Chain A
């Protein structure tokens, strides 16, 4: 299994990133190296071994359904690059 430039393009598109052609070639080889490593792992016999879904072995970390006020509207908007009134503002998006 090896990564093609087309794969790099697709992943970049999904991540909303843009690369120059030479960067894509570099990424292609890096991604292939990662996959080689995965292939190595695939050599291990993992029959009857449950996948480790979380490094943390605990379970049921839950909280009560009680409201706590964290931020005011002003605080929430303080770091926003663009805002109007009480709203965050972004370039027009359509087509969800």
Chain B
């Protein structure tokens, strides 16, 4: 059984208890003040936004929001912790008893319980590899607000753990309270693992793997730890409680050398902070300002835009991307299943391709949603073929301004528009038949599958502009005389 503890940095401008900036890229020890440097006599003051963000996550994960909570001191000594204690929440987490639903590989939905979400502050950053017997410390991160999301041990495989983490990350990003950047450490994960022998009810002793900073590491570390515990049990021994670290190089887990007895945090209520009371009114205000959640939005897209579930899921996975699609949809001149599907195809294929190639987000994507709607309209009204629409899309990307893009659109739509003029197509068909006498002969003697060859040649000759239906009709007519 697997339980995850996820630490997510809240995207506030300032730290949890002081007004220092949380900017990750600032020069070392520049976002510091007497409060986060732990000077005696300073008082922490709670960041209002942090509470709002935490409540948002609580609501999004179906938690109960505690109306009265307090903060606690967790005492331990480490040079990156200036005060000698971390301010956290102990027995009154702000959010508790929630759950989220994850999609399993077999398409079934599974409910994963959330034990609690509490607020705490981050520690500073130690740089160990600078010198053999000295450590450098940057306190910019000290006091940066985190929420810790603790799951129930409801997951039974690495795949479920992966789905859960992915859903939590998606939710955090949708709420715009975390940037989801695991590399920079704004999302970190600890995994608790314990095995249960088949046919028994009792869980084995759990171990905890600390500080997993990528999806791959989470999956690999859990896999490695399951293997390790299995071999311990198979050799007839017992698993003992340890904090483990994961070594990504050789894909193994190992117990840290920390003495367990040293883990005595002596929690007590933080005397420097007063009670936190969440009124009904406050709660309602936060709830009223929540965005539509991904699952709900996916279902609505399926209904409103007639999209298949997988397409809808793909579009709504990222909030901004889904916003973009909705903007395209609003601008379509025909609002029916066919036009929504065309728009969805262009957004999912062409727009996504450019984003991937240029490694940009949808916000930096150059074409306005209106432009995509125009291209989709053009396909739907039969003016241009799908092949030509891709070319128009590419041509428009070279436009420097919206005006220029529009003029490129008008010009290329005209140049690439489908030719339905029978006489014009007929002359191309005749030319193709004349220049391919051998194939013509073979076709006439019964090799009907060569029709595809002729269609291809005609389309090529017409630069994709010939109306395929007319091409087919004319080919049959002229070849079968």
Contact = CB atoms under 8 A, between A and B. Distances in A.
Interface of A: 10, 13-14, 16, 53-56, 58-73, 76-77, 84-96
B78 to A, nearest CB: 6
Chain A interface mostly helix, strand, loop or mixed? loop
Contact of A64 (B21, B48, B134, B271): B48
Contacts of A63: 19, 45-48
B44 to A, nearest CB: 10
B139 A88 contact: yes
10 contacts: A56-B274, A61-B274, A68-B20, A70-B33, A71-B34, A76-B32, A86-B28, A86-B30, A87-B28, A93-B126
- Which 4 A-B pairs give the minimum distances between C-beta atoms? A70-B33, A65-B49, A68-B19, A87-B136
Chain B interface mostly helix, strand, loop or mixed? loop
B70 A54 contact: yes
Interface of B: 12-14, 18-21, 27-30, 32-34, 37, 45-51, 70, 75, 77-79, 126-128, 130-139, 256-258, 261-262, 264, 266, 269, 271, 273-277
A68 B48 CA distance: 15
B282 to A, nearest CB: 9
B14 A66 contact: yes
Given A59-B274, A65-B49, A95 B258 contact: yes
Contacts of A14: 75, 262, 264, 266
A72 B136 contact: no
B315 to A, nearest CB: 32
Given A14-B266, A66-B13, A87 B29 contact: yes
B264 A65 contact: no
Nearest to A50: B68
B277 A67 contact: no
Contacts of B27: 73, 86
A87 B269 contact: no
A34 to B, nearest CB: 15
A72 to B, nearest CB: 7
A80 to B, nearest CB: 9
A67 B75 CA distance: 28
Nearest to B36: A70
B29 A73 contact: yes
A59 B99 CA distance: 29
Contacts of B130: 84
Contacts of B137: 87-90
B3 to A, nearest CB: 21
A90 B75 CA distance: 20
A62 B46 contact: yes
A59 B51 CA distance: 14
B79 A93 contact: yes
